Amino acid sequence: MDPLVLLMQRFHHTQFADARRLAELKSAAGQSVSVCIPTLNEAETIAAIVTTIRRELIESVPLVDEILVIDSGSTDGTREQARQAGATVFLSSEIAPETGSHCGKGENLWKALHAARGSTICYLDGDICNFHAGFVTGLLGPLLTNPDIDYVKAYYERPLALGDATHSNGGGRVSEILVRPMISLFYPELAGILQPLSGEYAARRALLESLPFPTGYGVEIAHLIDLARAGMLGRIAQTDLVKRIHRNRDNDDLGDTAFAILRVIFRRLERDGKLTLSSTLTEIHQRWSVDEARVEPITKNIPEPERPPLRG
């Protein structure tokens, strides 16, 4: 096993609970922090997330300089909730319109780099139900205290709600059933990443601007593979956020996610000389809807294009 897997630094969010000290370090280094949240119909949770960051990390302690919500066209009032809570809200399609527009999480993250002013970017998902300030301080802490760290991934327990029962370790199904086996087969140097698809991470802007961004759910695994290829595993750290509770998605949605991630991984496998594709990857995900006596095919076009690095 690559020794970097064993050497990768891990932290606990409580090690960085002193937000005032982090703010002092940020100021002394001449840094600034943008928290960027991609959203699509997150009205139930976005206000609480934004309010917590604004109250505890902007008004009480000047750690975060701006909160941006980058929205994909929500229809449930997400943008209004976020704006009222204190975020600066953008429609993804309206940022850098000359570059065109795609629908997807990775697109929102890439567009956030155009809108954000911070030298450090902290990405958070907008559906976290148990959000606390440690989600932000735990990710920023390693970057502000160690100049040799450039990229910090979250890891946590992911409960899975099934009916009235909650299973402590049933979440992260795409990670455990698809991505981790693919890592073991083709990118074992990434085996030490505990939550490869976690949507909570922070990084220095210069690093993020050097990476391509798949426009959908393949963005997180793409970052890790590309960082490993660039020899930067030693500059990645991980922070334990303990538990992340969010809206669990159904198998149909997870199947679409897995399809997009596979397209991203296979493109990189071919690029990295690990396999040769004998035909072009299809963009059509095919599945079936089975309801009593009715069986219907369902097809969805999932091209998962990639945005280029903002700088070479």
Tell me: the pLDDT tens digits for 59-106? 999 999 999 999 999 999 999 999 999 999 999 999 999 999 999 999
Domains of the chain: 3-179+189-248 (3.90.550.10)
- Whether 171 has a pLDDT exceeding 70, the answer reads no
The closest of 185, 267, 172, 177 to 218, measured between CA atoms, is: 267
The pLDDT mean for the chain works out to 92
The closest of 254, 112, 270, 272 to 171, measured between CA atoms, is: 254
**34 contacts 121 by C-beta, under 8 angstroms:** yes
**223 contacts 261 by C-beta, under 8 angstroms:** no
Give the mean model confidence (pLDDT) for residues 160-177. Answer: 59
Q: Which amino acid is at 294?
A: R
Tell me: the pLDDT tens digits for 239-271? 999 999 977 677 888 999 999 999 999 999 999
pLDDT of the residue at 296: 92
pLDDT of the residue at 2: 52
Distance CA 257, CA 305 (A): 14
Q: How confident is the model at residue 143 (pLDDT cuts 50, 70, 90)?
A: very high
Strand spans (E) along the chain = 9-12, 33-39, 66-71, 88-91, 120-123, 151-157, 160-162, 165-167, 201-204, 213-214, 236-243, 284-291, 294-301, 306-307
Q: Does the global pTM surpass 0.85?
A: yes
- Whether 29 has a pLDDT exceeding 90, the answer reads yes
Tell me: the pLDDT tens digits for 105-136? 999 999 999 999 999 999 999 999 999 999 99
- Whether 237 has a pLDDT exceeding 70, the answer reads yes
